[in-house]
């Protein structure tokens, strides 16, 4: 075997057909892309392990793993094969059971049914099968009882599936070369090459010639698992094998070859049987349902280094969140608790949630990274979603539950309230709006904009805290200001204090003229100046009155008039929600 072969898992297993082990929480397996099983015949453990006449198989044992307490299920061969494919005895230990029948005779759950349900591909590579799709009896060096998938309803009664029963010769090597090997391969050497009618040396030579190229291939080194198993030992009359047979098929060799084997020459003394191999191959491909006894069987994970993922916490609840807004981030710690590096292929969340992370493409054993999620609801309702992580752990994809409630509120004209108002300047217009929450609770500030000049718009109450259910009224009041009497240029008002200074020279001028007139008021000249004095007083009085009219008083500019007539749009706001109404001032 070439050094590159250590990337491939080759499992040779003979399972004991008794009561299945009690179901336990199975540790994680590596996630394999391709699994292969080769079934050899009628040889006990001691005749294989350490046998110098089987150098290739023993080189695999030295490199990879060996199940040292592996016991076949029954005698003769046929129900051992069914245990590897169906997880149950089907033939009553009758080697000729339904041999000549070409239609399906096994309707129980089986590996093909589960593979198809999971979208996986499969083939049987049966050496010396008479023709592709043969589901009938034995011929030449081919025995139907060594090909359990030929009995299944899911295969024999479905031509498209029956076409997956092909001859090993030519087809297997071609599929390997072309990169078209299926996810699951059941490999059946003929009677000469499986040690049934030939020698162990011939069986070993066949493995080296036909299986080592697979083990050495890039495809296998990337994601392969291989199982090589002996169906039973050489003693078909073993004590206790009467009829059904339970764990009486003899101690046989089971060799496991994989890139993920924990160490060279790894050995496990755990009691295992054919149903354990069925569980290993199915679960290793990512299947979630396992046929027959495999459902309650251990998965042989003790042989492998494998990544495994844990999360803390395992769900995120965001509570209430206003539509159109984004919540604060919540985080989850992802940890690789397995015994091999974890490769991450994708991390995503459902709509209405968003995510970021610092995980990168891989995590070493024991390493952690942080997943960070936010909630941004587009609609007001309860939202549920998932955080989905795809990786190369056996239970991928992992999912975390995400929940949150989108909330909102509406602002509308209250029933019975008008949407427009007409007032005379100086009057107050009142509108009644309603705030209807949809799950929303929290403080909402309210405001009013768009009031005309010299008018005020107020909202009552100015803020409120909806309870998520109850509709509340909002009163919007717009108070206008009436105009005053106006002179030719506008409204007259008394002079302001700063305007009085402009009158002082006029007043003093009038006083000076009066004093002068009094000083000159003599008897001899009284008659002469009387007429002039009256003229001067008239001129002064005219100047004062002009000062009062032109500068001593003031005209109210247009901005200080009452509320101007016109039609205005008022906008009431509650948070970011608004409602507009019309106001006509006359």
Q: Which residues, in sequence order, are bridge partners of residue 40?
A: 230
The per-residue DSSP string of 483-494 comes to: -----SSS-EEP
Average pLDDT over residues 178-186: 98
Q: Token pair of 84, please?
A: 């590897």
Q: Residue 148: its pLDDT value, please?
A: 98
pLDDT tens track for 340-394? 889 999 999 999 999 999 999 999 989 999 999 999 999 888 999 999 999 988 7
Contact 280, 11 (CB under 8 A): yes
Model confidence at 294: pLDDT above 50:
yes
Average pLDDT over residues 427-445: 75
Quickly name the fold that domain 3-303 has: Alkaline Phosphatase, subunit A (3.40.720)
What phi and psi values does residue 565 have, to the nearest 5 degrees?
-70, 150
* pLDDT-above-70 percentage for the chain: 77
Residues 6 or more apart whose CB falls under 8 angstroms from that of 153 comprise 104, 105, 106, 107
Give the three-class secondary structure for 364: coil
Confidence at 574, pLDDT banded by 50, 70, 90 = low
Q: At what angle do helices 55-63 and 200-210 cross, to 10 degrees?
A: 60
Q: Which residue has the higher pLDDT, 364 or 541?
A: 364
What phi and psi values does residue 308 have, to the nearest 5 degrees?
-145, 145
416: left (phi over 0), alpha (psi -120 to 50) or beta: left
Q: Pairing state of beta strands 11-12 and 224-230?
A: parallel
Contact 228, 11 (CB under 8 A): yes
Question: Of all helices (H) and strands (E), which one includes residue 330?
Answer: strand 330-336
Contact 370, 356 (CB under 8 A): no
d(CA 71, CA 20): 12
Give the three-class secondary structure for 204: helix
Confidence at 17, pLDDT banded by 50, 70, 90 = very low
d(CA 216, CA 200): 23
CB burial class (10 A; 0-12, 13-18, 19+) of residue 576? exposed
pTM: 0.62
Among the listed residues 87, 79, 80, the one whose alpha carbon sits nearest the alpha carbon of residue 13: 80
d(CA 424, CA 563): 9
Residue keyed to tokens 């803390």: 312
Tally Cβ neighbours within 10 Å of residue 50: 10
Quickly name the fold that domain 309-407 has: Immunoglobulin-like (2.60.40)
Q: Where in the chain is the domain with CATH 2.60.40.10?
A: 309-407
Residue keyed to tokens 């906008």: 571
Q: Where in the chain is the domain with CATH 2.60.40.2310?
A: 414-483+563-585
Model confidence at 492: pLDDT above 50:
no
d(CA 552, CA 584): 37
Strand order in 330-336's β-sheet? 309-312, 330-336, 368-375, 353-357
The per-residue DSSP string of 30-51 comes to: B--SEEEEEEE-S--GGGTTT-
Q: How far is CA 207 from the centre of its chain?
A: 45
Longest dimension (CA), the chain: 176
pLDDT tens track for 44-65? 999 999 999 999 999 999 999 9
Q: Residue 426: its pLDDT value, please?
A: 83
What is the DSSP code (8-state) at residue 548?
I
Q: Where in the chain is the domain with CATH 3.40.720.10?
A: 3-303
Tally Cβ neighbours within 10 Å of residue 6: 19
Quickly name the fold that domain 414-483+563-585 has: Immunoglobulin-like (2.60.40)
Cis, bond preceding 313 (omega within 30 deg of 0): yes
């Amino acid at each position: 075997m070439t050094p590159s072969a250590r990337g491939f898992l080759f499992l040779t297993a003979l399972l004991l057909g008794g009561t299945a082990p009690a179901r336990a929480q199975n540790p994680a397996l590596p996630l394999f892309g391709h699994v292969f099983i080769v079934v050899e015949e009628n040889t006990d453990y001691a005749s294989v392990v350490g046998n110098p006449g089987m150098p290739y198989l023993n080189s695999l044992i030295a490199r990879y793993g060996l199940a040292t307490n592996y016991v076949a299920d029954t005698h003769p061969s046929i129900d051992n094969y069914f245990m590897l494919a169906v997880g149950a005895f089907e033939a009553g230990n009758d080697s000729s059971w339904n041999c000549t029948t070409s239609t399906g005779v096994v309707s129980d759950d089986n590996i093909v049914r589960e593979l198809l349900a999971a979208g996986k591909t499969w083939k049987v590579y049966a050496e010396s099968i008479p023709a592709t799709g043969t589901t009938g009896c034995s011929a030449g060096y081919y025995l139907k009882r060594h090909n359990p998938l030929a009995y299944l309803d899911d295969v024999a009664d479905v031509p498209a599936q029956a076409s997956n029963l092909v001859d090993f010769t030519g087809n297997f090597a071609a599929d390997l070369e072309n990169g078209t090997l299926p996810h699951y391969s059941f490999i059946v050497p003929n009677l000469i090459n499986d040690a049934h009618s030939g020698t162990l040396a011939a069986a070993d030579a066949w493995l080296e010639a036909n299986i080592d190229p697979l083990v050495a291939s890039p495809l296998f080194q990337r994601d392969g698992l291989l199982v090589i198993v002996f169906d039973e030992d050489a003693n078909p009359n073993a004590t206790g094998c009467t009829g059904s047979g339970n764990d009486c098929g003899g101690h046989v060799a089971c060799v496991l070859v994989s890139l993920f084997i924990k160490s060279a020459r790894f050995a496990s003394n755990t009691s295992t049987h054919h149903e354990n191999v069925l569980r290993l191959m199915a679960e290793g491909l990512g299947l979630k349902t396992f046929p027959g006894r495999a459902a309650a069987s251990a998965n042989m994970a003790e042989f492998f280094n494998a990544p495994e993922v844990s999360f803390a916490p395992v769900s995120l609840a965001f509570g209430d969140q206003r539509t159109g807004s984004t919540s604060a981030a919540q985080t989850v710690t992802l940890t690789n608790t397995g015994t091999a590096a974890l490769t991450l292929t994708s991390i995503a969340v459902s709509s209405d949630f968003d995510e970021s992370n610092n995980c990168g493409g891989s995590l070493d054993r024991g390493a952690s990274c942080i997943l960070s999620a936010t909630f941004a609801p587009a609609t007001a309702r309860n939202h549920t979603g998932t955080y989905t992580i795809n990786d190369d752990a056996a239970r991928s994809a992992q999912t975390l539950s995400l929940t949150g409630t989108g909330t909102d509120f509406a602002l509308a004209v209250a029933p019975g309230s008008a949407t427009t108002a007409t007032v005379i300047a100086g009057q107050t217009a009142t509108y009644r709006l309603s705030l209807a929450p949809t799950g929303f609770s929290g403080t909402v500030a309210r405001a009013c904009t768009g009031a005309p000049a010299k008018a005020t718009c107020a909202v009552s109450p100015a803020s409120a805290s909806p309870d998520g259910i109850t509709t509340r009224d909002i009163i919007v009041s717009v108070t206008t200001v009436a105009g005053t009497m106006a002179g030719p240029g506008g409204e007259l008002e008394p002079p302001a204090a700063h305007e009085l200074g402009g009158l002082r020279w006029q007043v003093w001028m009038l006083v000076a003229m009066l004093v002068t007139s009094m000083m000159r008021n003599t008897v001899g000249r009284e008659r002469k100046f009387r007429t002039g004095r009256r003229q001067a007083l008239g001129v002064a009085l005219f100047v004062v009155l002009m000062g009062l009219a032109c500068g001593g008083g003031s005209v109210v500019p247009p901005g200080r008039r009452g509320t101007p007539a016109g039609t205005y749009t008022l906008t009431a706001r509650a948070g970011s929600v608004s409602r507009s109404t019309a106001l006509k001032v006359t």
